[in-house]
A and B are shown apart, each in its own frame.
Chain A
Amino acid sequence: MQISQSFQNWRAKEGSAYIFLSPYGLLFIVFIVVPVLAAFLLSFTFFDAIQAPRFVGMDNYISLLTRDDTFMRYVLPNTIQFAVIVGPGGYALAFMLAWMLAQLPKIPRTIFALILYSPSMTAGVAMAVVWKTLFSGDQTGYMNSFLMGLGLLREPIQWLQSPDYLMPIMIIVTLWSSMGIGFLAMLAGILEISPELYEAAAMDGMSSRWQEIFYITIPSMKPQMLFGAVMSIVGTFQAGAIGVTLSGSNPTPQYAGQLIVNHIEDYGFLRYEMGYAAAVSVVLLLMVLFFTRVSNRLFASEG
């Protein structure tokens, strides 16, 4: 009796909140929480998608660290190289561009913002057509033809099949499409800062624009900077499939463009070692968590 009474109270007070929350909550649990937990659990098993998962303790993680030559020699260094350049690089670029745009009147600003944002609208599939043609390996490819026309190149280069060029091309393509939602958030953040702050600083004798950026602009928009940072971290790891898209094969030629997400796909869907793939997934999620914590440190708002 008592229990049903308190349930009735709860339903009257909080029930409607949960009614509004439940559709999203349910989908959130099914498609985000459960898969993450399942990845964590599966990472301690051997699972080939045919027989039931068999508990193997830390074996997958131990193999990953000690026996997976490909992972240590190619995948991890590639991922770090890619993430360090595309992550902070793309982020800094997005901030600088947003800052420059904020110095322009509304109409040119809107046009430039649209141009810079447009590559991120269609990341992936549609653009693969373009990049494949631009970097086509024979002499009819635009890059080859252009460089040969300038006399810089004698023989056409197999750009997307070459271990030397695949990674730089992946980085350029990803940077090109990295002015996404985080960029828009930072632009809006810069525009929100009250002009009085700058006037006050000018009166106090602040004279260089760099000082303005580091002492007024960035501290005044820390929340947007953090949002931008999280978007850029997620975007960077999410963009990892680009190597396979460009080269058209997994594994990529001589593992040159092999990133951690491709490694997961390789083991999960090509070799059906799903427990092992899950362990790699957990490592990836931990990497994202780590980088987000770092940016939290940098941009956490006081209070």
Chain B
Amino acid sequence: MSKRRVSRFSRYTGVRNRGINPQGFHVSQLKFYVLLLPLSVFMLLPIVFIFSSAFKPPDELFAFPPRFFVVSPTTQNFTDLFSKLTNSGIPVSRYLFNSVLITLVTVAASILVSSAAAYALSKKRFKLKNTLFTINNIALMFVPIAVTIPRFLVIQKFNLLDTFWVHILPMLAMPVGLFLLKQFIDGIPDEVIEAAQIDGASDWWIYLRIILPMIRPALATIAILTFQAAWNNADTSTLYINNESLRNLAFYLSTLTTTTTGANSVAGQGIAAAAALIMFLPNLLIFIFLQSQVMSTMSHSGLK
């Protein structure tokens, strides 16, 4: 064995700080920090910008030359946002309320619907099992935006236009969610379920008392994905809703940025910045709280 090989190998003895998933710092990691730090700053800039702009008073929003960071922060933009009536006389708080309600119902329903299906696909024995899982895997490729029009026709046929449910029901068919949950449940040994069956447990008991508690990390991940999809969804309000009082905050924000009188007007820009922060912040907070669950779910995400 050459000297070089010995020295390289010896690094793996004791506390391993080099290579994949090290325990502590090692000089060899410096080059990654050198690359990652500037990149992270670049990635963060627009997000810092959301925070900064939301608290800018009007004279700073339109300062020339523009200043990136806020100097004298104010909550005026938020007060304006919530005291404002839209052109159709709906207070902005109504959009926010709709968004919160829609998102909560969608997340809860999505967790139940997907986990029940994932339990069946993972632990039940039936003929079409593999076929159905394959179909769902093919549907991972599904690009909802491609079938906006036929979806519109379907929603029209089911009389779902201009209803609260049109925000929720299409979101629940989420192939990625089912896929991740099924993979995660595969990791639960069959013996656990067989033991419960011998003790006389019913399917529902097994699902509610064994499966759901054991897949909490995966449920957290589905909750995040559904949350992001529902909270940020402006399309439903645009395409399937005409009743202004049923539309959500994401839609309201999109009207601020698409109409020329919105973001470009003096009053509009501050409001848009405040609304953008309200749109962004919940995503960030939820992910920070649940990130370790997400990572443990993603290690089951392999697609074979």
Asked whether any CB of chain B lies closer than 8 Å to the CB of A23, the reply is: yes
Q: Please provide the chain B residues from 231 to 254 with a CB less than 8 Å away from any CB of chain A in the complex.
A: 232, 234, 239, 250, 253-254
List, in ascending order, chain A residues with CB within 8 A of B303's CB: 223-224, 226-227, 230
Which residue on B lies nearest to A221, using beta carbons? B302
Q: How far is the CB of B123 from chain A (nearest CB, A)?
A: 9
Beta-carbon contact of A123 and B304 below 8 Å:
no
Asked whether any CB of chain B lies closer than 8 Å to the CB of A237, the reply is: yes
Question: How would residues 128 to 162 of chain A score, 1 for a CB under 8 Å from any chain B CB and 0 otherwise?
Answer: 11111110000111100100010000000000000
Beta-carbon contact of B126 and A268 below 8 Å:
no
Give bound CA distance, A100 to B234, whole Å. 35
Give bound CA distance, A79 to B174, whole Å. 25
Question: How would residues 244 to 269 of chain B score, 1 for a CB under 8 Å from any chain A CB and 0 otherwise?
Answer: 00000010011011101001000001
Asked whether any CB of chain A lies closer than 8 Å to the CB of B141, the reply is: yes
Q: Flag the segment in A1-9, A58-66, A112-120 that touches B.
A: A112-120
Beta-carbon contact of B153 and A38 below 8 Å:
yes
Asked whether any CB of chain B lies closer than 8 Å to the CB of A76, the reply is: no
Asked whether any CB of chain A lies closer than 8 Å to the CB of B230, the reply is: no
Q: How far is the CB of A76 from chain B (nearest CB, A)?
A: 15
Beta-carbon contact of A237 and B143 below 8 Å:
yes
Point out which of B21, B119, B272 has the most chain A C-beta atoms below 10 A from its C-beta.
B21
List, in ascending order, chain A residues with CB within 8 A of B225's CB: 181
List, in ascending order, chain A residues with CB within 8 A of B125's CB: 13-14, 17
Beta-carbon contact of B22 and A238 below 8 Å:
no
List, in ascending order, chain A residues with CB within 8 A of B287's CB: 114, 117-118, 121
List, in ascending order, chain A residues with CB within 8 A of B150's CB: 34-36, 38-39, 42, 278, 281
Asked whether any CB of chain B lies closer than 8 Å to the CB of A218, the reply is: no
List, in ascending order, chain B residues with CB within 8 A of A123's CB: 232
Q: Please provide the chain B residues from 278 to 300 with a CB less than 8 Å away from any CB of chain A in the complex.
A: 279-280, 283-284, 287-288, 291-292, 294-296, 298-299
Q: CB < 8 Å: which of A129, A141, A142, A191 contacts B299?
A: A191
Give bound CA distance, A185 to B298, whole Å. 5
List, in ascending order, chain B residues with CB within 8 A of A35's CB: 147, 150-151, 154
Asked whether any CB of chain B lies closer than 8 Å to the CB of A51, the reply is: no
Total contacting residues, chain A, CB less than 8 A: 110
Beta-carbon contact of B301 and A288 below 8 Å:
no
List, in ascending order, chain B residues with CB within 8 A of A274's CB: 149
Q: Please provide the chain A residues from 270 to 293 with a CB less than 8 Å away from any CB of chain B in the complex.
A: 274, 277-278, 281, 284-285, 288-289, 292
Q: How far is the CB of A230 from chain B (nearest CB, A)?
A: 5
Q: How far is the CB of A218 from chain B (nearest CB, A)?
A: 13
Beta-carbon contact of A130 and B276 below 8 Å:
yes
Asked whether any CB of chain B lies closer than 8 Å to the CB of A176, the reply is: yes
Q: Flag the segment in A84-92, A163-171, A193-201 that touches B.
A: A193-201
Beta-carbon contact of B257 and A224 below 8 Å:
no
Question: How would residues 88 to 113 of chain B score, 1 for a CB under 8 Å from any chain A CB and 0 otherwise?
Answer: 00000000000000000000000011
Q: Please provide the chain A residues from 173 to 226 with a CB less than 8 Å away from any CB of chain B in the complex.
A: 176, 179, 181, 184-185, 187-193, 195, 198-199, 202-203, 205, 207, 221-224, 226
Given A30-B173, A269-B148, 13 additional A-B pairs, CB 8 A: A36-B142, A36-B147, A38-B154, A106-B21, A116-B39, A126-B279, A142-B68, A189-B298, A205-B5, A207-B4, A223-B301, A238-B144, A268-B149
